[in-house]
Structure 1
Amino acid sequence: MIPFTTLSSIAVPVLRDNVDTDAVIPSREMRSTGRTGLADGLFAPWRYSDVDARLPDPDFALNRPEARGARILLGGANFGCGSSREHAVWALAEWGIRCVIAASFAPIFAANCVRNGLLPLTLPSATVASLAWREVCVDLAAQTVAEGADSYPFDIGAEAKQMLLHGLDAIDLTLTQAPAIEAWTAADRVARPWAYLASHRESTT
């Protein structure tokens, strides 16, 4: 994954509470199990006045000219609730979003964000609303969101921060502990040699 360090972008508001994953990417828009080809269906029920004809609704935030190239999305409380579908995060990422700032997140959605290189960042709802259509700078190392002369701190778990800063997925994160894992295995092999007999036989056949 691409590491997340700092990010500057216009912040596009979709300031609705309880935005579920079926609104982010409806099931009818998921035509494969892959991570690509989903951006066109992002927020399809709201983004298009005619979904089948793909007629954009000019009043929806992502269709406004100033949203072009935006990397930050603003949301309300409980963003990403509903199903656990990872496609919701994939659709946001393919469209270009790398950070969602909201009052709160559904836990599974937030975890899916981190595993796919998106930063789920929580701030008070009034602060989130104040960032709409502003140029915002997110500094993950410093854990701050800046807009003009104003700066807002945010919290993030140490593991999530490490994964995002260094572009690590769950497997990569485990492999950072490879020396400790190898040392434990070597010591355990001495302490419990019988536990390794089957694997030894398999490796020599």
Structure 2
Amino acid sequence: MQVRFLLATTAAAVSLLPLSAQAATLFGTGGIEFDQATTVRFTFQGSSNFYASSVSVYIVNPTSGFVDTTSRVPLFGESPGAFQDVTFLPGFRYTLGLSNINPNDGTAGLSPIVFSTTQSNNATNLGRSDNPNIGLQRAVFGSFGSTTEGTPFPNPGSFTSGNPFAGPVLISFEDGGFDASFNGLGGLNVTVPNDRDFNDFRFTAQVIPAPPLLMGLLALGARVFFRQRKSVRT
């Protein structure tokens, strides 16, 4: 199923360049942004967390990092084989948000949501000034984090961007921690906000080409345009 932020795009918004020759303006912890309409396929790969989590796409203010929650486009939860196609439009900056729910009672997690854009992990978006994830990188691009649950991933700062035109970009979230009393560990009320394993929710992102019919129409339109241009010059 394909989700579009707008129902239609113009031919001018789609490049005739091969995917290997294109690149995202931004695709990482600084945000997601493209200079033309671009469709990305997100595919769930796995999770290693206590929460029942799901990921969505949001529009974000590029200056303040404020996330417009009304723009939310859900991708998927922890469903093997799940994927979703999203068309990103030029002129907007986007972020990914991981929502976390306690599976025992359906209440929000210690950090109900964290964002792939580090700037967006602020008190306004996270809902409280004492949230332990404020100001922290909560996603890696180009890695699935630590191979062992609970073992800190040593260098998340080295995995802050990827190129979805070049192939699948590995993306993985650190979910922001949990309260040990959630899962019956003696009611200890211990919080673990920063195990920093960055393997809690894993998926990939890859640009998919425009449908062949659309590409054919664009190529035909380009030929007509250049023929008309040549006739005017002669």
Shorter-chain TM band: under 0.3
Higher helix share: 1
Q: Tell me the TM-score normalized by structure 2.
A: 0.23
Q: Tell me the TM-score normalized by structure 1.
A: 0.26
